[in-house]
Structure 1
Amino acid sequence: MNHTNSNTSDVIVIGGGLVGSAVSYGLARQGVKVTLLDEGDQAFRASRGNFGLVWVQGKGFGMTPYASWTRSSSGLWPRLAQALLDDTGVDVHLQQPGGFCFTFSDEEKEDRRQRMQAIQDELGGDYPFEMLDRQDVIARVPALGPAVTGASYTPMDGHTNPLKLLRALHAANLKRGVHYVSGQPVKQVQAEPRAGGSLFTVEGRWQAPRVVLAAGLGNRGLAEMLGLHAPVVPNRGQVLIGERTSRFLDYPTLNVRQTDEGTIQLGDSMEEVGFNDNVTTDVLANIARRGVRTFPVLAGLRLVRAWGALRVMSPDGFPIYQESPKHPGAFVTTCHSGVTLAAAHAFRVAPWVAGAPRPEEIGVFQGDRFLNPNYRPAHAH
C-alpha cells in the first residue's frame, strides 16, 4: 500500500539512518502504517561511516543485559539478512564465522580473558569464547605478524556490508509502503494529550499517535520536548580503506576486516572532539601502524580513502530505549551499534513500539538512569 499522499500514519519515525530504518522496517512488516522522516545528507551520517561489524564479544562488561541484548540481535541477524534479500534482492553479505580480538602482550591477553570470563559468568555460561595462544591463532589466521601474542575468539561475531544494509532497508521500507520523506530535518515535535494516549505532530505537518525518536545526535533536543532524557554526545571514529587485495582474512576482527568486495578496512579510534568529523593524520597513522603490526601483508597496501564519522554516545556508552512516561506513545531509541543491533531493532523494538511488551533486556536502558546521582555503571566498550 502506498501512503505517500497522507500526512497521518500509525507511527512517525524520526531519523532515516540504520536505527530508524530498521525500526520502520520491523513496523512495516507488522502492517503498521509508518512515516519515516529523514534529514538527508546534511545530517551527521553515522550509518555511512561505520565499520560494518556484527559484534558481540566483550560487549556488556559491567552491564550484563547489554551482553544479552547484543547476542540476541546477532542471533536474529540471519533472519534480517534473508528478509531483506527476499524483499529487495539486495544481498547485505552477512558472514558470521566468529571474530578475533588480537593481543600484543601476556598482560593484555590476561586482561582480555578476565573480561570475557566475567561476562560468561554473569550469563551463567551462555557466552562461548576461547582464549587462543599465538600458534592456535596462526592456524586460523596465517597472515598474522610476529607481534601478536594471542587472541580472544567467539563464534558469535560477524560482519556485513553496511552501505548495502542501509540501501536494502530503504528499499524494503518503500516496498512495504513506508512513507519515506527525505530532506526533512525535524526541530519541533508537539504532543497533545488524548484519551488513552497522545497525538503527536511533527513540524506542524505529520501526525500520528506514536512517534519514535531515532535521530541519532538529534535525539538530545527532541527528547526534551517529549518528557524524555537522551543526553547523547558525539564521539569521532576514523576509518582507513585500502585497495582491493587478494583474500588473506576470512574472519572479522576488532580493528581490521576484509570486506566482501576485497577492500581492507582499518579503524577503531575514539575521540571526543565535538561535532568535528574531519580526519587527522596522527590518528590515521596510528590506525595504519596497528594494522601493519597485526598483518604485515598490509605494509605495501595503497590507501584509497579515509573518513571520520560521529558515533552517537550516551554518558555510559550503552543504548537508551524508553517510552515517555509523560507522553505515552513517544519512544526514544539511541545506540552506537546500529549495525550490530539492526536485527533487534527490527524484530524486538518495533513490536514494542507497536504495542507488544517491552523486551526484558532493555528495561535498564531508560534515559532516566542518568538523572540518578548514584548511577555509576562500567562504561561500554
Structure 2
Amino acid sequence: MTPEYDIAVIGGGLVGTAIAYGLAKTGQRVALLDEDDRARRASVANFSLIWVQTKGLGMPEYSDWSRGAADLWPAFRDEIAALTEIDLAFTRPGGFHLCLSEAELEARASHLARINAQPTMTPLPYEILGHNAVREMMPDIGPEVVGASYCPLDGQCNSMRLFWGLHTAFGRAGGHYLSNHRVETLVASAGGFLARTDAGPIAAGKVVIAAGNDSQRLAPMVGLNAQVRPQRGQVLVTERMKPFLHYPTITVRQADEGSVMLGDSIEEGNPSLTVGTDVLAKMADRAMRMFPGLGNVNIVRTWSAQRVMTRDGCPVYDESREHPGAFIANCHSGVTLAPRHAQTLAPLIAASRVSTELPVFGTGRFDVSTVH
C-alpha cells in the first residue's frame, strides 16, 4: 500500500479540525475525513466557553491542561485572524457559576475546595461571592441569585467562527478536507492504514480517530478503546438584545452579536435529537430567575445534540500498542482545548510521542480491575 497522505484525521468537528490544522502546520500531508452536513456533530452542542474552573477533580493534570489552553487563546486568536481574517470574538473577563440557593452555593464552594485540595493541584484562583458582590459585576441578576463562584481564567468566543476559522486555516496550511468521506472500516496494513469510506478508500501512514461518539465504533478496529458515551444537551437562543451580560456564566451567556444562549441541560441515556419542552421550560425558568430581563425576549432557535463524554470526564489521547501509528483523541472541551490540540497535541502525534509525553491522558488509566 502506498499512502496518499502522511496522516488522515477522522472527524471534521472542532477537535479533529484543530488537530488536522496543527498537523498541516508541521508540514505533514494531511487528509481530514468528514461526513456531510447532516452528520450528528457533537460540536453543535458546545456553549462557546473557554472554561477552567471545575476542571481537574480526580485528575489535576486536566486542570493544568485546560489552564494552559486558556493562556494560549490570545495568541491562537491572533494566529487564526492573521491567516484567515476571521475574528473569533475571544474575550477573557473571567466566568461565573451562578447559584439560586444556599445549598447550591455551599455545594459549589465544596466542589472547588476539593479540587484545590488535591496533592499535585496547581491552586485554582477563584472566589465565592455573595449576592451583592455578584451584583456589582453583573447588575442585571435577579434577587434569587444567592451568590456565585468566579474564576478570572475563564472566557468565551464565537464557536461558529472558530469552526469556520479552523477549517479555513487548515486549507491554507495545505490540508485536504474530504467531505462525504464517512469511514466505514479502518484497517492496519503494511505501510500504514486504509480507511474505506463512502467515497472510496484513503491510505495514510498514520491515522487519528477524532470522531466524537463514533469513535466507539472505529477505535477497536485498530486496537484502541474510545471510552466515550453520548450525553444529550439542549440549547435555547434568544433574539438579539442590547449588551448586558459582559461575563460568561456556565449556563447563560450573551454572544458577541447580541443573542443570549441558555444551556444547562445534561441528559444521560437519551439518544434522541428531538428537543423536549419539559427540559427547555426548566432551562428558561432558571435563566429568568438569574436574569429577569430575559422574560421579555423571544426564543428564536432551539436544538439538541449528543455531546462527547469520556468515562471520567477527562480527555483521552493515546496511540495504539497493537497498531502503532493509530491515535485517538476524545474530549468534551473542544472549544477550550483548541489551541492545545493544534499547538501541543498535533506535533506530538506527528512525532509519535503522545504516549510518552501525555501518559496521564492515555487509555491505560481505565485498565484497573474493580475490587468488590
TM-score by length of 1: 0.92
Which residue is equivalent to 1:104?
100
1:69 to 65, 74, 87: 65
2:234 to 235, 238, 241: 238
Does 2:292 correspond to 1:299? no
Preserved CA contact (<8 Å) 1:318 1:365 = yes
Which residue identity is paired with 2:77? A
Describe the SS at the equivalent of 1:205. Answer: strand
Does 2:168 correspond to 1:175? no
Preserved CA contact (<8 Å) 1:349 1:359 = no
Deviations 1:345-381 (A, max 9, x none): 11111011010643888422223433423399xxxxx
Which residue is equivalent to 2:89?
93
1:53 to 25, 49, 54: 49
**How many angstroms apart in 2 are the aligned matches of 1:138 and 1:63?**
33
Instruction: Give the alignment of 1:131-146 within 5 angstroms.
Output: 131-146=128-143
Unaligned runs of 5+ in 2: none
Does 2:123 correspond to 1:126? yes
Preserved CA contact (<8 Å) 1:48 1:162 = no
Cα 1:124–1:51, aligned 2, differ >3 Å: closer, same or farther?
closer
**How many angstroms apart in 2 are the aligned matches of 1:74 and 1:374?**
35
Preserved CA contact (<8 Å) 1:65 1:362 = no
Does 2:149 correspond to 1:156? no
Q: How far did 1:73 drift?
A: 1.1
Describe the SS at the equivalent of 1:10. Answer: strand
Describe the SS at the equivalent of 1:187. Answer: strand
**How many angstroms apart in 2 are the aligned matches of 1:105 and 1:224?**
45
The 10-residue stretch of structure 1 (15-24 or 228-237) with the greater mean CA deviation from structure 2: 228-237
Which residue is equivalent to 2:193?
200
Which residue is equivalent to 1:379?
none
Preserved CA contact (<8 Å) 1:68 1:361 = no
Does 2:165 correspond to 1:165? no
Preserved CA contact (<8 Å) 1:312 1:335 = yes
Which residue identity is paired with 1:158? G
Cα 1:126–1:369, aligned 2, differ >3 Å: closer, same or farther?
closer
Preserved CA contact (<8 Å) 2:318 2:354 = no
Cα 1:144–1:361, aligned 2, differ >3 Å: closer, same or farther?
farther
Q: How far did 1:224 drift?
A: 0.3
Preserved CA contact (<8 Å) 1:50 1:309 = no
Q: How far did 1:221 drift?
A: 1.2
Q: How far did 1:112 drift?
A: 1.4
Describe the SS at the equivalent of 2:5. Answer: coil
**How many angstroms apart in 2 are the aligned matches of 1:228 and 1:41?**
27
The 10-residue stretch of structure 1 (115-124 or 152-161) with the greater mean CA deviation from structure 2: 115-124
**How many angstroms apart in 1 are the aligned matches of 2:122 and 2:17?**
34
**How many angstroms apart in 2 are the aligned matches of 1:247 and 1:327?**
52
The 10-residue stretch of structure 1 (255-264 or 123-132) with the greater mean CA deviation from structure 2: 123-132
1:221 to 217, 223, 227: 217
Which residue identity is paired with 2:313? G
Preserved CA contact (<8 Å) 2:61 2:121 = no
Preserved CA contact (<8 Å) 2:43 2:307 = no
Preserved CA contact (<8 Å) 2:319 2:355 = no
Which residue identity is paired with 1:339? V
**How many angstroms apart in 2 are the aligned matches of 1:259 and 1:7?**
43
Cα 1:286–1:182, aligned 2, differ >3 Å: closer, same or farther?
same
Cα 1:26–1:125, aligned 2, differ >3 Å: closer, same or farther?
closer
Q: How far did 1:28 drift?
A: 1.2
Cα 1:164–1:186, aligned 2, differ >3 Å: closer, same or farther?
same
Describe the SS at the equivalent of 2:247. Answer: coil
Q: How far did 1:207 drift?
A: 1.6
**How many angstroms apart in 1 are the aligned matches of 2:212 and 2:247?**
29
Percent sequence identity is: 45
**How many angstroms apart in 2 are the aligned matches of 1:271 and 1:286?**
13
Deviations 1:198-226 (A, max 9, x none): 51111162222211001111111110010
**How many angstroms apart in 1 are the aligned matches of 2:62 and 2:273?**
27
1:187 to 184, 189, 192: 184
Number of equivalent positions = 367
Which residue identity is paired with 1:181? L
Preserved CA contact (<8 Å) 1:46 1:309 = yes
Preserved CA contact (<8 Å) 1:69 1:362 = no
1:84 to 56, 59, 80: 80
2:366 to 366, 370, 378: 370
Which residue is equivalent to 1:265?
261
**How many angstroms apart in 2 are the aligned matches of 1:340 and 1:328?**
28
Does 2:332 correspond to 1:339? no
Preserved CA contact (<8 Å) 2:64 2:122 = no
**How many angstroms apart in 2 are the aligned matches of 1:212 and 1:7?**
15
Deviations 1:85-118 (A, max 9, x none): 0110000101111000011222322221222123
Query: How large is the RMSD of aligned CA atoms in angstroms?
Result: 1.9
**How many angstroms apart in 1 are the aligned matches of 2:300 and 2:255?**
14
Which residue is equivalent to 1:3?
none
